Every structure is written in C-alpha cells, then in structure tokens.
C-alpha cells in the first residue's frame, strides 16, 4: 500500500469516530440545555414564592409589634391609630383593627372615627381560635372597594377583650413585589389563591385578576407541592409552567415560559456547538492533508539523498520542520563524509551526552531541594497546627470531665476561642503559601502619613458610583502612623461607603485627620439616618445593620464595620461610633497609635514582638486575676499578682517589674491614684503603666492618660490587642 493511501485511510478512521462523537455531544448538549432551562424556571418560581413569604413575614412582625402596643392595651385608639399608620407601606398596604365580632374599630384608609363596615367573621374567628396569623383569599375590600388579600394577626386578651390587627394588600402590591421578571423576558408569573383565582399576574392583569386559572394548573397544584406541566396559558401560548406553594399563605405561585422561547435558546446553543464541531473537524482534515504532503515530500527527499550516498556523492538536502526527518537528513549527509567528519560527529554526540548528563544531575539536585523544602513546609505546618490543637484538646477534655469545676468553664472556653482564632489565622496563611514560607506577618506596617493616604482614598471614592449625588469633604492634617497602607485604605473605604449608604443624596460626608498628641485620629461624619441608641453598642458586630434609607432596600451583609474594627485592632488602635439618634447622622472615629519616633518613612516595622516581660497585674477580682494571669503566662510573660495598692507597691520594691497592668476599680485607692503615686516615685517614674478597666468612655480614657497611664484597655480585652499594647508600651518607655 502506498503511503499516500495509508494517510488517507488514517484520516478517514480519525474523522468518522470524531464526527459521530460530535453528533452525540450535540444531542447531549441539547438535552442538557433543556434541563438547565427548566431547572432555571423552577428556581424562578421558588424565588417568587419566597418573595411572597418574605412580604407576609415582614407584615407578621410589624403586626405582632402593634399587638403589644400600650395604647391598644389602654384603649387609646387615637394613639394606636397613629402607630398603625406607621406600619403601612403606602399606597398598597394599609392597616385596620377588628374586634371579636368583626367590627372595624379603625382603618388607616379612613380618618379615625369614620363609619366602617363589618368584615367577614369566618377568617377572624379562625385567627382568634388558632392564635395564629391567617391569610385570606382574594376578596373585594369593603372600605377600599379594591381587589385585595388580608393578613389577620390575633392579639392576647387586653382588658377582657381580644382584637385582630390586619394588613390589607391590594393586588398592585403583589405585582410590585412577587412579579419580578427580567427586562425583555417572555415569562408569565401569577399568584393564585386557594380558590384557584388569580391574585396577581404580570400579563393581562386588568382582565385576569380575580378570574380562575387554567383547570389543569389548579389540579396539578392541588396534587403536588411543586411541579412542572406543559399546557396552554390563558392567552393560548404553549408553555412550560412551573409551580410551587407559598409556605406562609398556601397560595400557588406559577411561572410559565413559552416552549418556543426555551427551544429557541436550546437550538441556538446546539447550532453554535454543531458549527464549532464541524469547523474543528474540517480543520483536522486540512491539517492531516497538509501534514501528509509535508511527510511525503520529506520521504522523497530522503530517498534521493540515500541514492546519492550510495553513489558516493555528498547529498544536497534542504531544511525541514520535522525533527525526526531532519535527523535523518543529517545522518545521510554525514554518511557521505570522510573519517574526520565521522569523528567530529562522534565528538558532537559525546558533547551532547555530557550535556544531557549535566542536565539530569541538575534536575536531580533541584528535585532534592524541592523535596527538602516540602519536608520543611510540612514540619512547619505540623508544628503550627499541633500547638493550638493540643490546647483545644486539653481545654475540651477539662470541660467534658465530670469533675470540672464550673468556674473553669470561662477560662477554658477562652482558651478554645483563642486557639480557634489562631487556627483560622493559619488557614488564611495557607491560602498564600509564599507568605507563610517567607515568614511574612499579616500587616506590612510602614511609617506613613495618614493624611496622604486618606486624601488619596477620598479622591478615588469620589469617582465611584456609590458617591454619586454626595459631596465628600476632606480636612486632613499630617499624622504619622505605623500601618499597612492597603489595609488603611480598606478601613477608609468601608467607613465612607457605610456613610454613603446611610445618607440621602445631596448630603455631605466629611473626613478629617488630625494629630491629638497621643494618637492619629481619623473620623468620618455623615448627615444620614443616624444610629438608634439600642443599636449603637452592637454596630461593630458582624451582620448587624440599621434600617435602610426610606425608599431603599437593605444592602450588604453587615460585615463592613466588623471588618473595620478588626483591621483597626490589628494596627493597635480602636474605633468608636457616635450618633445623637435617628435622623441625626453618625460619626465614626478611629484612633491609631502614633509612629515611634525615629522611624523613617517607608521603613518596615514589625507589628508585635515576642519578648518576655515581668508583668505586675493589679486586680482585686480573683476570677479576672486568674484568667488574665494565665493569658499573660501563655504569652510568655512572668506574672506578679497584687490585689490592692499596698501589695502593688510591695511587689515593685521586691521585684524588677517591667510593666504594670493596673485595674481602675481597686478597693481603698483606685487605679488613678495608684498611677499618680507610681509616677511620683523615683523607682517607678518611667515604668510602663497600662490601665485595664471596665470603663471605656472617651472621658475615662482621657482621665487615665492624665493620671500617668501609657495606654487604656477596656475589658474584656482582645488578646492580640493586649500583646501589641504591651510591646508598644515597653518600646516607648524603656526602663
């Protein structure tokens, strides 16, 4: 068989299975696309049902709160009327109050005292008898005259009477909340009550609301909690119709998509795949043809060269891109040369062998180095994981032991929490192996001018979409800190974005930076919705958010301010929030430790040290002393304990104390007086003093610094912050 025929046969053998595989792949893709489209339809209907449930649950919360109203309990309907208006979501959701006989006592659609018709008693009695919220089917409101549904929430017995507080939802409300479709979508979304009538529908709503849905859809919804059917819609469109039930109301939510729409997207996907497959197969055939010609030309050249060598001539050969054929050309050319040329060829081969040997040796040594590095990495990882795991295992064993004293619970729970945070830190470092192996710490701290970084951040923020409609004003004085510029930028961004989110358009967000002598102070002030006094102590907790601006949906997960607090703590600072109340705006203040004198701009500085200190802990509470002493020892420090002023002075005279942790609320002489006395004694005048107290107001901090303390820590103190504060205090005031 000729080589040309063999190449053609090989091409055919490759092409036919490839073509069949492409056909099978197209069919699989077609089936997969249809399944994906129908699954998407099911997810859409579940999301729509969830929107209905969220609206009902939201109203249950508001009505339950109204049921606890003191005005209702005291029978003050005028005051209760004003409270009920606050629970409205105009113009489509309003509130009314019913007694046990179905009489409307008030309706926020009408002025207080207006004559009101009675409501149907069946659902009211159902709510009163069950004590649970009840949702009605579609009905015509006796006051509004509109198609609506109602939610009844019963109250407890108040002065011998029971009431039902209700929300009425016009059908327009459900159109705005539950019928959310993408622009240009051909989907039909409907909400059907328990009698099979449409409560809401995004297609032909004017003619279909209150009318029965298709019987086959109603029957399918009665037979199963959710499903998918194919039928004609009220408009006669052949559609796939996915349905499910709202958990809160029992209503049926259905989403119909025309079969032609689903099939069209599938056909397009399959067409593109088929065209791509055919193009790929065509390219393969052309490549085989081209390579076959190249190979045949190379074989012909080699045959002529072999004939020339056999005739004792030096063959004349051109170059080829085929490595193997080029090697054959070289061999044939060498065969026509004399012994000298043959010796040169052997020498070239020897040199190539030596190069290969050297390369193999280098690769083996590199593999050995990589293996050693791997062992070192695993050893380091094992060491870093065993310590916290051992501490957690020991603490768990103590807590689970039947003889474990109750007072040990807090101590060992604290150990577990601390070591768990350490494990999280290790896991985060493992996400960046290069940083772990090079020994980098979390913060790349440098001496930077806080004013320059804040000004740069503000300039960048002004160009963002979130800042549109707001005015960002910066007033920044030079203030030098030891910080990670990227993290400081993250702090500024989170604070400013929080203020922008909580401020109406046209208002101002003011950013200031100043040096107050002890700290570099960054503040962000807005004119937004403010912070309620009950929410203010928890504003830096994860997932805690205040109410959104009127007319806006709540956004974000509530972790921005929590992240700010953590990043500030990593820098050894603290962040506080202040607001005069709702509608009065808010101010967030961050205090960073100032840079150590003598540090040059841009010089990297370690965030925390590991030096052991002899620490005098002055604390009158035995449990607090035991926990803090153990924590300090775990940090590597030697602890000397004292419970009052006299024991503290005696300990300073008897031991070489490196630093004093001093509680403020001591018996007899408080911590302020003890600090003042220590600053006046020659032997302790330069001794670092840290206030450890439950008083955390700014006035308390200022008083502590005025009394001679180097730092002020509020209980309970974060262990990492405590370690950094000890290192900074001893560095700033060496003995």
CATH, residue 419: 1.10.287.130
What is the rounded average pLDDT for all residues in the chain?
A: 81
Distances (CA, A) of 315 to 134, 330, 339, 340: 100, 10, 17, 17
Q: What CATH number did the domain enclosing 105 receive? A: 3.30.450.20
Q: Does the pLDDT value for residue 239 go beyond 90?
A: yes
User: What pLDDT was estimated at residue 238?
Assistant: 92
Closest CA to 76 of 115, 106, 118: 106
| Domain assignment of residue 685, yes or no | yes
DSSP-derived secondary structure for 309-374 = HHTT--------S-HHHHHHHHHHHHHTS-HHHHHHHHHHHHHHHHHHHHHHHHHHHHHHHHHHHH
Cα angle 614, 700, 705 (rounded to 5 degrees) comes to 50
End position of a domain, from candidates 440, 470, 496: 440
User: What pLDDT was estimated at residue 408?
Assistant: 72
Q: Mark whether 423 and 519 lie in a shared domain.
A: no
pLDDT, tens digit, 9 for 90 and up, residues 40-51: 889 989 998 998
pLDDT, tens digit, 9 for 90 and up, residues 363-411: 888 677 556 545 544 544 554 566 567 678 767 877 777 777 777 777 7
User: What pLDDT was estimated at residue 81?
Assistant: 94
| Domain assignment of residue 107, yes or no | yes
User: What pLDDT was estimated at residue 1?
Assistant: 54
pLDDT, tens digit, 9 for 90 and up, residues 272-330: 767 776 787 777 667 767 766 777 777 777 777 777 767 766 676 667 766 776 777 67
Kind of pairing, strands 689-693 and 711-714?
parallel
Q: Mark whether 436 and 479 lie in a shared domain.
A: no
Q: Mark whether 583 and 527 lie in a shared domain.
A: yes
Look at 36 and 558; give whichever has higher pLDDT. Answer: 36
Q: Decide: 527 and 590 in contact? Cβ < 8 Å.
A: no
pLDDT above 70: percentage of residues in the chain: 80
User: Around Cβ 406, how many Cβ atoms within 10 Å?
Assistant: 6
Most confident of 39-48, 426-435, 725-734: 39-48
| Domain assignment of residue 55, yes or no | no
> Residue 641 belongs to what H/E stretch?
strand 638-642
Q: Mark whether 698 and 578 lie in a shared domain.
A: no
Kind of pairing, strands 614-618 and 638-642?
parallel
Q: Is the pTM here over 0.75, yes or no? A: no
Q: Does the pLDDT value for residue 441 go beyond 50?
A: no
Q: Decide: 241 and 231 in contact? Cβ < 8 Å.
A: yes
Q: What CATH number did the domain enclosing 724 receive? A: 3.40.50.2300
Q: Does the pLDDT value for residue 80 go beyond 60?
A: yes
Q: Mark whether 667 and 642 lie in a shared domain.
A: yes
Q: What CATH number did the domain enclosing 560 receive? A: 3.30.565.10
Q: Does the pLDDT value for residue 689 go beyond 90?
A: yes
User: What pLDDT was estimated at residue 161?
Assistant: 86
Q: Does the pLDDT value for residue 553 go beyond 60?
A: no
Q: Is 502 exposed, middle or buried (0-12, 13-18, 19+ CB in 10 A)?
A: buried
Q: Mark whether 574 and 458 lie in a shared domain.
A: yes
Q: What is the mean pLDDT of residues 98-105?
A: 90
Most confident of 348-362, 442-456, 515-529: 515-529
User: What pLDDT was estimated at residue 340?
Assistant: 47
Q: Does the pLDDT value for residue 252 go beyond 90?
A: yes
Look at 556 and 321; give whichever has higher pLDDT. Answer: 321
The pLDDT-based confidence of 9 (bands split at 50, 70, 90) is confident
The CA distance from 148 to 120, in Å, is: 14
Q: What is the mean pLDDT of residues 623-627?
A: 84
Look at 728 and 294; give whichever has higher pLDDT. Answer: 728
The pLDDT-based confidence of 616 (bands split at 50, 70, 90) is very high
| Domain assignment of residue 220, yes or no | no
User: What pLDDT was estimated at residue 593?
Assistant: 92
User: What pLDDT was estimated at residue 429?
Assistant: 40
Range of the domain at 391: 337-440
Q: Which two tokens stand for residue 704?
A: 């502590």
Min mean pLDDT across 120-129, 408-417, 649-658 is at 408-417
| Partners of 662 in beta bridges | 618, 691
Q: Which two tokens stand for residue 501?
A: 């989110």
DSSP-derived secondary structure for 162-182 = --EEEEEEEHHHHHHHT----
| Domain assignment of residue 263, yes or no | no
Beta-carbon contacts of 266 under 8 Å, excluding residues fewer than 6 positions away, are 30, 33, 34, 37
299-308 — which CB contacts under 8 Å span 24+ positions?
299/3, 301/329, 302/328, 302/329, 302/332, 305/329, 305/332, 305/333, 306/332, 308/336
End position of a domain, from candidates 119, 145, 174: 174
Q: Decide: 593 and 573 in contact? Cβ < 8 Å.
A: yes
Sign of torsion over alpha carbons 333, 335, 340, 343: positive
User: What pLDDT was estimated at residue 609?
Assistant: 39
Q: Mark whether 632 and 716 lie in a shared domain.
A: yes
Q: Mark whether 451 and 412 lie in a shared domain.
A: no
User: What pLDDT was estimated at residue 214?
Assistant: 93
Q: Does the pLDDT value for residue 267 go beyond 90?
A: no
The CA distance from 483 to 238, in Å, is: 64
The CA distance from 265 to 517, in Å, is: 67
| Partners of 192 in beta bridges | 198, 252
Q: Mark whether 435 and 464 lie in a shared domain.
A: no
Q: Does the pLDDT value for residue 435 go beyond 60?
A: no
| Domain assignment of residue 62, yes or no | no
Q: What is the mean pLDDT of residues 73-87?
A: 91
Q: Mark whether 630 and 719 lie in a shared domain.
A: yes
| Domain assignment of residue 523, yes or no | yes
Q: Mark whether 582 and 677 lie in a shared domain.
A: no
End position of a domain, from candidates 593, 626, 652: 593
pLDDT, tens digit, 9 for 90 and up, residues 197-231: 999 998 888 888 989 999 999 999 999 999 999 99
| Domain assignment of residue 673, yes or no | yes
Q: Mark whether 505 and 539 lie in a shared domain.
A: yes
* Number of compact structural domains in the chain: 4
């Amino acid at each position: 068989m000729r080589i040309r025929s063999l190449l053609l046969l090989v091409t055919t053998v490759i092409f036919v299975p490839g073509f069949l595989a492409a056909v099978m792949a197209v069919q699989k893709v077609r089936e997969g696309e249809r399944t994906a489209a129908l699954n998407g339809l099911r997810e859409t209907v579940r999301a729509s049902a969830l929107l209905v449930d969220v609206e009902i649950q939201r109203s249950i919360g508001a009505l339950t709160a109204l049921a606890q109203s003191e005005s209702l309990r005291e029978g003050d309907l005028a005051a209760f009327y004003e409270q009920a208006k606050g629970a409205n979501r105009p113009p489509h959701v309003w509130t009314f109050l019913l007694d046990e006989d179905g009489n409307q006592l008030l309706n926020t659609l009408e002025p207080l005292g207006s004559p009101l018709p009675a409501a149907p008693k069946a659902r009211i009695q159902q709510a009163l008898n069950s004590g649970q919220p009840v949702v009605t089917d579609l009905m015509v409101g006796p006051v509004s005259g509109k198609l609506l549904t109602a939610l009844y929430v019963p109250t407890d017995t108040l002065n011998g009477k029971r009431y039902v507080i209700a929300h009425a939802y016009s059908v327009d409300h459900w159109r705005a909340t539950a019928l959310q479709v993408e622009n240009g979508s051909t989907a039909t979304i409907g909400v059907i009550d328990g009698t099979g009538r449409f409560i809401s529908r995004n297609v032909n709503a004017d003619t279909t609301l209150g009318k029965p849905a298709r019987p086959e859809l109603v029957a399918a919804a009665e037979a199963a909690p959710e499903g998918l059917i194919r039928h004609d819609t009220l408009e006669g469109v052949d559609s796939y119709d996915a349905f499910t039930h709202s958990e809160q109301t029992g209503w049926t939510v259905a989403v119909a998509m025309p079969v032609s729409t689903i099939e069209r997207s599938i056909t397009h996907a399959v067409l593109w795949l088929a065209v791509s497959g055919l193009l790929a197969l065509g390219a393969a055939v052309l490549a085989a043809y081209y390579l076959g010609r190249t190979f045949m030309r190379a074989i012909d050249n080699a045959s002529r060269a072999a004939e020339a060598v056999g005739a004792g001539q030096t063959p004349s050969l051109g170059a080829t891109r085929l490595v193997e054929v080029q090697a054959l050309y070289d061999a044939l050319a060498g065969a026509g040369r004399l012994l000298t040329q043959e010796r040169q060829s052997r020498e070239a081969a020897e040199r190539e062998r030596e190069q290969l040997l050297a390369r193999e040796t280098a690769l083996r040594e590199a593999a050995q180095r990589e293996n050693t590095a791997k062992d070192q990495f695993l050893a380091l990882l094992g060491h870093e994981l065993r310590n916290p795991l051992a501490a957690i295992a020991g603490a768990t064993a103590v807590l689970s032991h039947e003889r474990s004293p109750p007072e040990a619970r807090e101590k060992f729970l604290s150990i577990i929490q601390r070591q768990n945070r350490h494990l999280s830190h290790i896991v985060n470092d493992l996400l960046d192996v290069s940083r772990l192996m090079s020994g980098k710490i979390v913060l790349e701290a440098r001496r930077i001018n806080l004013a320059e970084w804040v000004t740069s951040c503000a300039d960048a923020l002004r160009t963002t979409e979130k800042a549109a409609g707001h005015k960002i004003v910066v007033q920044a004085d030079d203030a030098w800190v030891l910080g990670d510029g990227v993290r400081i930028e993250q702090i500024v961004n989170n604070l400013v974005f929080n203020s922008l989110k909580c401020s109406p358009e046209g208002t101002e967000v003011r950013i200031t930076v100043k040096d107050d002598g002890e700290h570099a102070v960054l503040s962000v002030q807005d004119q937004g919705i403010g912070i309620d006094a009950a929410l203010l102590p928890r504003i830096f907790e994860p997932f805690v958010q205040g109410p959104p601006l009127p007319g806006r949906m709540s956004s974000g997960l509530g972790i921005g301010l929590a992240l700010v607090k953590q990043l500030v703590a990593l820098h050894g600072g603290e962040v506080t929030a202040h607001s005069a109340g709702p509608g009065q705006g808010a101010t967030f203040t961050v205090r960073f430790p100032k840079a150590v004198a003598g540090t040059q701009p841009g010089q990297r500085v370690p965030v925390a040290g590991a030096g052991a200190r002899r620490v005098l802990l002055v604390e009158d509470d035995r449990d607090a002393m035991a926990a803090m002493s153990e924590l300090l020892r775990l940090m590597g420090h030697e602890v000397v304990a004292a419970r009052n002023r006299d024991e503290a002075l005696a300990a300073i005279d008897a031991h070489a104390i490196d630093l004093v942790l001093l509680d403020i609320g001591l018996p007899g002489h408080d911590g302020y007086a003890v600090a003042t006395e220590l600053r006046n004694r020659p032997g302790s005048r330069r001794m670092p003093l840290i206030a450890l107290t439950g008083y955390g107001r700014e006035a308390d901090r200022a008083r502590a610094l005025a009394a001679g303390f180097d730092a002020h820590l509020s209980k309970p103190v974060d262990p990492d912050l405590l370690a950094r504060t000890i290192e900074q205090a001893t560095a700033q005031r060496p003995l």
